[in-house]
């Protein structure tokens, strides 16, 4: 067990607290393994009737994964990056299939790996502090941890919009889209957690009682534009639609897309299209692992991390530089299944 995960029992619940505040609790391989092993230990413990996820201190629930490590590994043989993806995705899949009720408190920044912990949970609590996003295309990555499954099942084309633009949602928008099941004031969280620990059989009623009416969801006003302008699974069509529309909103979103990796935007669109047809979450994770194993060693990911996280010049040189340069053959190579002895499998 790493000290970056605090696992404890409180009455009849197991509580997992992310504890890497200087990195906004970004996940490491050791953290994912610790969570996975703790879930396994509690799965057979009859005294534990529900699992709660939150964070110890700091300004967010979880900002993602250990991106620097992934890039450093990708620049070499990629083995450490693949081990991270394998372990994280096993944790994600175990949560998705977990029988006992699970609750995630998405208070503050909830991105990437934090989304992977939250969305499999039965109860997902947003607050006025929630900032939810899948911004991976901005660093040459793609919306993994089940993004192809979850985002493809959002209303209309909001999933495609979120994955291409990396737009941040607040707690109200998360509730509106179904990403969150409840909206609580942050000041009420400690009391809600204490009541759940005392009576895990009443989780839903407890969260309902503490819920408050959220303000209007900003994204609701843009749904028509999102569904119309992001309607195509072909990136070139999305660009053309935004240019032809010419409104202030479309112009702003087009400018946002121009900062993202054309390669991984196309990867993301294909991932969501195929994810919508996946028969099981395990199938989705198997595909995302293969895609991740390929992408993490490609130019755009290494360049994106350099520009955004290491040098912070925010001027990545994408290759190919335009959507038209990303060929179907390139995408087929990225989506190619791994050999059976290298492919992802659920934790057993």
252 Cα distance to chain centroid: 24
User: Active-site residue 324, yes or no?
Assistant: no
Signed CA dihedral, 168, 107, 220, 279: sign only: positive
Which of 290, 288, 308, 289 has the alpha carbon at shortest distance from 300? Answer: 308
User: In whole angstroms, how far apart are CA 129 and each of 25, 47, 172, 329?
Assistant: 16, 33, 10, 42
User: Active-site residue 113, yes or no?
Assistant: yes
Beta-sheet strand order (sheet of 131-133)? 60-62, 109-111, 131-133, 169-170
Catalytic residue among 4, 54, 136, 288: 136
User: Active-site residue 144, yes or no?
Assistant: yes
SS3 85: helix
User: Active-site residue 136, yes or no?
Assistant: yes
Query: In the chain, where do the E strands start and end?
Result: 5-10, 13-18, 50-55, 60-62, 102-106, 109-111, 123-126, 131-133, 169-170, 182-183
* Residues whose CB is less than 8 angstroms from the CB of residue 131 and which lie 6 or more positions away in sequence, other chains included: 60, 108, 109, 110, 111, 168, 169, 170
What are 93's two structure tokens? 């899949």
**Taking a C-beta distance cutoff of 8 angstroms, is the pair 183, 211 a contact?**
yes
Catalytic residue among 14, 58, 60, 65: 65
Cα separation of 151 and 142, whole Å? 12
**Taking a C-beta distance cutoff of 8 angstroms, is the pair 231, 157 a contact?**
yes
**Taking a C-beta distance cutoff of 8 angstroms, is the pair 143, 163 a contact?**
yes
Catalytic residue among 64, 74, 112, 113: 113
Catalytic residue among 144, 253, 284, 288: 144
Which of 63, 272, 288, 243 has the alpha carbon at shortest distance from 158? Answer: 272
What's the burial of 77, exposed, middle or buried (CB within 10 Å: 0-12/13-18/19+)?
A: exposed
Cα separation of 71 and 334, whole Å? 17
| Residues marked as catalytic | 65, 113, 136, 144
């Amino acid at each position: 067990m790493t000290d970056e995960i605090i696992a404890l029992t409180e009455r009849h619940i197991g509580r997992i607290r992310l504890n890497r505040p200087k990195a906004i609790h970004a996940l490491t391989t050791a953290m994912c393994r610790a969570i996975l092993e703790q879930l396994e230990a509690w799965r057979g413990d009859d005294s534990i009737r529900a699992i709660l996820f939150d964070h110890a201190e700091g300004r967010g629930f979880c900002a993602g994964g250990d991106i620097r490590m992934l890039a450093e590994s990708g620049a070499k043989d990629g083995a450490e990056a693949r081990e991270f993806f394998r372990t994280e995705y096993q944790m994600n899949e175990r949560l998705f299939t977990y029988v006992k009720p699970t609750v995630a408190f998405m208070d503050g920044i909830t991105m990437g790996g934090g989304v992977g912990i939250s969305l499999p949970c039965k109860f997902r609590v947003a607050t006025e502090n929630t900032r939810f996003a899948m911004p991976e295309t901005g660093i040459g990555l793609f919306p993994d941890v089940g993004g192809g499954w979850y985002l493809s099942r959002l209303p209309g084309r909001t999933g495609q919009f979120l994955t291409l633009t990396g737009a941040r949602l607040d707690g109200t928008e998360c509730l509106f889209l179904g990403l969150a099941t409840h909206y609580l004031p942050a000041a009420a969280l400690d009391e809600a957690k204490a009541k759940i620990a005392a009576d895990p059989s009443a989780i839903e009623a407890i969260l309902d009682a503490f819920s408050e009416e959220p303000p209007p969801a900003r994204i609701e006003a843009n749904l028509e534009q999102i569904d119309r302008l992001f309607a195509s699974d072909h990136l070139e069509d999305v660009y053309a639609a935004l240019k032809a529309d010419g409104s202030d909103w479309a112009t702003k979103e087009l400018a946002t897309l121009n900062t993202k990796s054309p390669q991984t935007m196309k990867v993301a669109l294909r991932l969501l299209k195929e994810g919508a047809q996946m028969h099981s979450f395990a199938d989705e994770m198997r595909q995302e692992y293969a895609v991740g194993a390929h992408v993490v060693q490609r130019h755009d990911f290494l360049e994106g991390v350099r520009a955004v996280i290491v040098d912070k010049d925010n001027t990545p040189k994408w290759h190919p530089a335009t959507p038209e340069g990303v060929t179907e053959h390139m995408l087929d190579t990225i989506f190619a299944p791994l050999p059976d002895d290298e492919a992802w499998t659920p934790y057993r």
